[in-house]
Each structure stands twice: as C-alpha cells, then as structure tokens.
Amino acid sequence: MSATLEKGLHALREVIDAPIASYFSSCVHCGLCADACLFHTETGDPRYTPIYKLEPLRRVYEQEYTVLGRVKKLVGLAKPVDDAMLDAWQELVYDSCTMCGRCSLVCPVGNDIVYMVRKLREGMAASGHTPDGIRSATRRTVEIGGPMGLKWPAVANVLRKAEEATGLKIPVDQPGADYLVLLSSMEIVNYPEYIEALAKIFHKAGLTFTVSSDAFEATNAGIQIGVSDLARTIVTRIVEAAERLQVKHVLSPECGHAYMAIRWEGPNLIGRPFRFEVVHVLELLDELRRKGVLKMKDTFKDPLILHDPCQIVRRGGVLDAPEQLIRQVADNYIPVVDQQKWNWCCGGGGGASAIHTEEAEALRAKAFQVKKRQIESAGVDTMVTFCANCRIVIEEAFDHYQMDTKLLGLTELLAEHLED
Amino acid sequence: MQGPLIDTLVRQGVSRRTFLKYCATLASMMALPPTAGRAMAEALAAARRPSVIWLPFQECTGCTESMTRSHSPTLEGMIFDMVSLDYHETLMAAAGHQAEDALHAAMKDNAGKYLLIVDGSVPLGIDGAYSCIAGRTNVDLLKEAAAGAAAIVAMGSCAAFGGIPKAKPNPTGAVAISDIVKDKPIVNVPGCPPIPVVMTGVLAHYLTFGRLPDLDDKLRPTAFYGETIHDRCYRRPFYDQGKFARTFDDEGARRGWCLFELGCKGPVTHNACATTKWNGGTSWPVESGHGCLGCSEPDFWDAGGFYKALSMPADPLKMGTAAAAVGAVAGVAVSVANRAKKHRAQASHETTTLADLEK
C-alpha cells in the first residue's frame, strides 16, 4: 500500500461536505483573507492568499459535486487535479499555512477557510504530498508515542526530577483523580519547569491529578498531517486512559494544537462524546484565580506583552483567561493592537514547525517579522506565551534575528510568583 | 374663392379674435412657443390658399367623412374648406373626363407647389389592378401625382401604414404610401380615422413656417403623436392604483376604472385622442367606456384582438410556487446524486496507515 493520486482524490471526495459546498459557493473573491494571513502580509506573494491554497479542493468540489463542473468535466473543459498540481500546492498547504484561522475570522461571508485546509490535508496526505518533517513526526507519534520519539522511561525520569525539585508527589496511573494531566513532548524535553509549576498549583488548590504512563502525550501529529485515521488512533489512547482511570477532567497542556486536537477534534474523531471534560490549563488557572486560590506573593515588574497562541485563543475559545491571569502576575502588562483572537501566529503552528527544509525555515523567519514588529513597537524585552510550540518557534526566530527578548511561559510565570 | 384666408373667414362670420384664439390653441397643442400663435395667425391670415390634390385609393372614405362631416362648422372645417381643393373625387361636383382634366390642370399649374393628400393604401397585387381610377392603377396615379408635389400627407392608417386593406392575409398586396414614394417629404397622419385637428395643425404649420412639423421615426408629427394614449389618459390614476374593470358592466367599469384588462391598447398607441377628444371635444373612446383599439399604430388590426389585454399581470405567487417547485426538484436531484457519490466515497474508505503516507 502506498499513497497515490487516486487515493488522494478519493479522500477529497470523501471529506467534501455541506459546509465546504456552501463555503465555495459563497466565496465572493474579495481577497480579505489575503491580508489576514501572515505569510501573505510578510511576503506579498499572492499565492499565499488563503482561499487560493484551497484550489485543489475547490476543483474537486466543482468537478465532482456541481452541475456546471460536471458538464465542464464531461466536455473536457475542466482542469483535473493531478500530481503536479498537488506537488506545487504542498508548500501552500503545509509550509505556508499554520492553520491559525485568522482567515476564517475575517471572511465576510463566514467561510471557515481553516476548516477546509484541514480537510484538504486529508487528500494531500493520501496522495503522498506531505513534508518529510511532519510525516516522520506522525510516524514517531503512532509508533513510539510522541512526535519527538519520547518513551515512558524518559518521561518518568523527568517527572522524578520535578518531584525532587518541588518536593511534591506526581502520581502516575492513579484512578479517580480530578485531573488527568497531559503533556506535550516539547514541554517534557524543553520546558520541564511547566510540570513543576503544575504540581505546585495542584497542591496549592488541593486538587488531585495523575499522569498516565500510556497516554502522556497530548499532541496529535495525525491532525497536523491530515489523516483522521491516524489522528483517531492517537486520540483514542487518551480517551481510553482517561476513561479507564475514571478521571473527571483531562487537562490539556499549554500546547495549542494539543488542546484543539483533544477538545475539538477528539469527539468528532471517535464519533461520540467524551465521558470526561477537557479543560485547558489556563481555564483551570483562571477558575482558581476566580476562587481566590491563585494568590501571588509578588509580581513581575518588567514590561511585557502577551502572545496568544492561535489554537488556544482564536480557535480554542480560551479568550479572556490569559489576560486575566497575566494581569494577576505582571505589573507592566502592555496590550498590543492585534490582541486575543486577532493575534498574529508565531509562524510555526499546524505542523509547520516540524518542516525543516531551507525554504520552509526561511519562510517562517520572514513570517515572524509581524511578531517582531509587535514586540518592537511595544518596546518591551519580555514576551509571555502559553504554547510549547510557539515557544520553540519564537525562540528560533529570536535566534535568527539575534533579538535578546525574553520569552516566558505563562503557567511557569504564575507558579514562580505563587504564594507559598 | 381667392384672396387671403382671413377675408374668407371674416366673410363666414369668424371674428379676428376667434381666429387668434384658435391659432394660439393650435400652437400650444403642437407644443410651439407662445409667440408662435401670433406668427401663425399672421401667416395664416395672409396665406394664399394652397392647391391641394386629394387622391383616394383603397379606402372607406371614413377619413373624408371624419374631416368634412363630424366637425362642421368648426374652425378646422372652415380652414380645411379654405384650401384650394382642386381634386377630390368624393367632394367635387365634376366627374369623368372633367374631373380628370381638373386634376391634370392643377398638377400642371401648381407643379412643385401643391400639397398631395392621399387616403387609402396602394394595392400592388396583380400589377395594381385591384384599384383603378379612369383605367389607371393607384400606384401609377400616385407616382405621377407625387412627382410634382411639394409634400405628401398620408391621411389615415391605410395611407400611412397600409391599414385594414393590408390586414392579414392582405389579398390585394396593399402597401403604405411611404413604401412607394421615397423622394418626397411625407407626413403620416394615422388613425382610423385621424383626428381632424391633427390635419389642420399640420397644414397650419406648413403654411406658417414653410416646412413640415417635426416627425417621429414613423413620420408622424411629434406634436400629436409624441405621447401614448395611456400617458395622457384620465383613467391613468386607476391603472397606477391597480384598479381595473374586468368586464364592461362590472363595478369597476361603472366606477370608470382602467380598461387595460379589457384590451385597451392605450399604453402602446401614440395619438392625441386623450387630449383633443373627438366630435368637438365631446368624448373619446375611453371616456365612452371602451378601450383604445390602437388604430393609429401600424398593423393594429392584427395586434392580437381588441379585447385581449396587452399583458396580464403575472401572479407572483403562482410563478413563485412553480419556480420553487422546479428549483426544489433540481436541488433534490443534485443533492441525491451528490449524497450518493459522497456515500460511495465514504463506503469505499480504506483506513490510512503509516505506510500509506509514503509514495
């Protein structure tokens, strides 16, 4: 078995549904989505107009599901979608789309463009037009358990170190806990302080939690590459573990697309509602803040701005919690113009950060200019965010532009200033 | 009767003041500037009676009846009398060779200056044999008379457009004057019959200004044929309100509502009936309760029936239901086809594995 064009077209026929039909038929070609896309604003290349990235999907829709398109196809006037086209579009669908959803937000006729990108990726994957980086991340997630190939012993090791650092117990596979804590590989490897912060906060709030040894990974490369079958396999691990441990909540880590995967795509992938509630860590923190549990011993003094990760804020619906929380801990929080749901993507979401070709990296760096301008015009040296993937992408970009801006994780920042 | 027109009028008991009023009315009716009334009066008063030759072809004499009988003794009638009518078969006392001599004498004496009035259409079938005078066909006579005319007035719908003789199946091959004469100024004064004042108005204009009045694309004087009956109809407000008589004796008919649905051709008929009325301003067809027949328009006899409405208002609901039904059927058909295709695609779904990601 291998990827073929026919499989890709079959997948596209399969995913085209009523929303897609209505989106394509209501597009008025206004081009507003172009200026909502950071790849377009930063490069000026019209190919990066979001709706244009969907051209293969649109063609299949037209030729398979519209009367005029079928007639055109019959008389040979329709340009078929072929391998060459999909090959040319791979860059547009993966490298230059982070599925940030800003285009969907601005569309005046309400077309959910990012919804269609997600669907188009099914066809791209089935026809074999995916970037190597995402494909190998997917392979590692399915075969080993996480996109970085992390195995449980390594995780257990990190948890043990966190226990030592905090003096608090981190329960593993504990049935009946309030929260099943999911992690992302990036946090485990690059930001273990997140785990320490979480342990402190749970302890402070008097809530029980557990980590599952066979479902610690929250990210879902199957969604990023666009294969629902694989995404289902990955999300099923979490669902099974959570239901087996009979937890009330599953706590999504800061990681943006992990939250989107488990909270919004998850139930659709498995085809039934969860028997537990999915909560983003910031939602939990904000709830604790409202209850007065989250008391600060001191505050962070440096001026800072917030980077709202797309999948958590704009697409995830966690809109107000981040600002409420940052105001709790920071004295000099400076709101930026494109804030909250209007925030600009870091440039590496939706799997893009896993693509390590020279072109993709150069493009990411270019797209980051919009973020750079935000930081510079605010005149701050500190930026706070709450997504492990954003953090890696932004730090790479800081490196590229030799910026000495500090980047902090929101949960850790809160934990650091939490009353003992 | 020789000498200026005004002397003749005075002899007939028409005062100068009445004549001025008449000219002013005529001027305003033809949409001429107010000063034109006085100019017209002066010109007309001084005018020598022009020679007029009236040729009747395939006609019913209705136009002549209209001119001579219905409005006598009005001013129009008198002015009409005052032209030097040198040849008119119906009116002239002479007959036979005497009449033909008069015709030829007038044509010779006034060559290039006389006004030729024609009523009736010209048959072209079997070499024009359908209508002959003194052994000569109408078309032959017309060509001869037209050659020396200053201008030609086609009186009535038959002369102007072919009229009833030309109605289907047009057995005589009747045509209009303008189909035969191409090199002379022609004024069409259509109507079955035409309104007398239109005739005298054209004549007065010609005498006053030395040229024919402004004409529309069908060679009709715009002063009289510029607007439709419908535009100037006193029942127009009812049309605008959607109030229609549906039979000739229903409540609507009694209340004087619009006759559109009873076949009134007013909206497509250009004539002055609604403003000048008939029989000395007594009434006109619509005022008497009958829709306009459209007699001053080409081929009015074949326009689909006098009592058939020009168009019936569409029933939007009926149309809407039909359109919705057609749309729904088409929509359902497309949707069923699309669903089947999508379901086929989903049914034949093969689970993608990692191996499937590689080409």
Summarize pLDDT for B127-178 with one digit per residue, the tens. Answer: 888 988 888 899 988 999 899 888 899 989 999 999 999 999 999 999 999 9
B191 and B259 inside one domain: no
Residue B61, pLDDT > 90, answer no
Closest-approach residue (CA) in chain A for B340: A65
A78 and A159 inside one domain: no
Tell me the C-alpha distance between A203 and A206, whole Å: 5
Q: Which residues contact A23 (CB under 8 A, 6 or more apart)?
A: A111, A112, A113, A115, A116
Tell me the C-alpha distance between B217 and B215, whole Å: 7
Three-class secondary structure of residue A281 per DSSP: helix
A141 and A279 inside one domain: yes
Out of A7, A64, A139, name the one closest to residue B341 (CB). Answer: A64
B189 and B241 inside one domain: no
Domain count within chain A? 3
B159 and B239 inside one domain: no
A303 and A270 inside one domain: no
Summarize pLDDT for B195-226 with one digit per residue, the tens. Answer: 877 877 787 777 777 778 889 889 999 888 98
Q: Taken in order A316, A320, A324, A330, is the CA torsion positive or negative? A: positive
B68 and B185 inside one domain: yes
Q: Of A129, A161, A193, which residue sits at a domain end?
A: A129
Distances (CA, A) of A138 to A135, A149, A222, B68, B359: 5, 10, 6, 105, 15
Residue B316: predicted pLDDT: 60
Written as tens digits, the pLDDT of chain A (420 aa) is: 588 999 999 999 999 999 999 999 999 998 899 999 999 999 999 999 999 999 999 999 999 999 899 999 999 888 999 999 999 999 999 999 999 999 999 999 999 999 999 999 999 999 999 999 999 999 999 998 888 888 899 999 999 999 999 999 999 999 999 999 999 888 888 888 888 988 988 998 899 999 999 899 999 999 999 999 999 999 999 999 999 999 999 999 988 889 999 999 999 999 999 999 999 999 999 999 999 888 888 899 999 999 999 999 999 999 999 999 999 999 999 999 898 999 999 999 999 999 999 999 999 999 999 999 999 999 999 999 999 899 999 999 999 999 999 999 998 899 889 887
The answer to whether residue B355 sits within a structural domain is: no
Three-class secondary structure of residue A111 per DSSP: coil
A252 and A333 inside one domain: no
User: Does the CB of B347 have a partner CB in chain A at under 8 Å?
Assistant: no
Q: Which of A7, A223, A229, A269 to mutate to test the interface with B (most CBs of B within 10 A)?
A: A229
- What domain range is B186 assigned to? 49-224
B214 and B236 inside one domain: no
Higher-pLDDT residue of B356, B332: B332
What mean pLDDT is predicted for residues B172-196?
90
A278 and A309 inside one domain: no
A161 and A215 inside one domain: yes
CATH code assigned at B245: 4.10.480.10
The answer to whether residue B345 sits within a structural domain is: no
B216 and B279 inside one domain: no
B89 and B145 inside one domain: yes
The answer to whether residue B4 sits within a structural domain is: no
User: Does the CB of A73 have a partner CB in chain B at under 8 Å?
Assistant: no
Residue B1: predicted pLDDT: 37
Name chain B contacts of A130, Cβ cutoff 8 Å: 357
Tell me the C-alpha distance between B147 and B53, whole Å: 13
Measure in Å the smallest separation between the Cα of A127 and chain B Cα atoms.
7
Q: End-to-end distance of chain A based on CA atoms, in angstroms?
A: 58
Name chain B contacts of A139, Cβ cutoff 8 Å: 354, 357
Task: Say if residues B297 and B190 touch (Cβ distance below 8 Å).
Answer: yes
| Polymer length of chain A | 420
Mean confidence (pLDDT) of chain B: 83
B192 and B261 inside one domain: no
B234 and B150 inside one domain: no
CATH code assigned at A32: 1.10.1060
Domain count within chain B? 2
pLDDT band at residue B17 under the 50/70/90 scheme: confident
Please judge whether A65 and B351 are an interchain contact, meaning their C-beta atoms are less than 8 angstroms apart: no
10 Å Cβ neighbour count for A298? Answer: 11
A399 and A353 inside one domain: yes
The answer to whether residue B37 sits within a structural domain is: no
Q: Of B168, B190, B224, which residue sits at a domain end?
A: B224
Residue B296, pLDDT > 80, answer yes
CA atoms within 13 A on the CB side of B333: 7
CATH code assigned at A398: 3.40.50.1860
Q: Of A243, A269, A288, which residue sits at a domain end?
A: A288
CATH code assigned at A194: 3.40.50
Q: Which of A2-16, A152-166, B16-30, B272-286 has the lowest mean pLDDT?
A: B16-30
Higher-pLDDT residue of A267, B8: A267
Q: Of A226, A254, A288, which residue sits at a domain end?
A: A288
A279 and A363 inside one domain: no
Residue B223: predicted pLDDT: 85
B175 and B61 inside one domain: yes
Tell me the C-alpha distance between B98 and B94, whole Å: 6
User: Does the CB of A229 have a partner CB in chain B at under 8 Å?
Assistant: yes
The A residues from 131 to 170 touching B (CB cutoff 8 Å) are 135, 138-139, 142-143
A121 and A199 inside one domain: no
Higher-pLDDT residue of B92, A405: A405
Residue B72: predicted pLDDT: 45
CATH code assigned at B63: 3.40.50.700
A140 and A125 inside one domain: no
Distances (CA, A) of A188 to A4, A155, B281: 36, 7, 105
B187 and B165 inside one domain: yes
Higher-pLDDT residue of A86, B41: A86
Residue B197: predicted pLDDT: 78
Starting at the edge strand found earlier in the chain, the sheet holding A209-210 runs A209-210, A179-181, A249-252, A277-280
- What domain range is A324 assigned to? 294-416
Tell me the C-alpha distance between B120 and B98, whole Å: 23
pLDDT band at residue B305 under the 50/70/90 scheme: confident
A304 and A276 inside one domain: no
Tell me the C-alpha distance between B133 and B140, whole Å: 10
Q: Of B192, B224, B256, which residue sits at a domain end?
A: B224
Q: Of B202, B224, B246, which residue sits at a domain end?
A: B224
The answer to whether residue B318 sits within a structural domain is: no
What mean pLDDT is predicted for residues B15-19?
74
pTM recorded for the entire structure? 0.61
B157 and B242 inside one domain: no
Distances (CA, A) of A410 to A206, A249, A323, A375, A379: 21, 21, 10, 17, 20
Q: Taken in order A101, A103, A108, A112, is the CA torsion positive or negative? A: negative
Task: Say if residues A328 and A414 touch (Cβ distance below 8 Å).
Answer: yes
Summarize pLDDT for B225-255 with one digit per residue, the tens. Answer: 988 999 999 999 999 888 899 999 899 899 9
Higher-pLDDT residue of A42, B310: A42
The answer to whether residue B341 sits within a structural domain is: no
Residue A296 β-bridge partners: A418
At A10, the amino acid letter reads H
A174 and A115 inside one domain: no
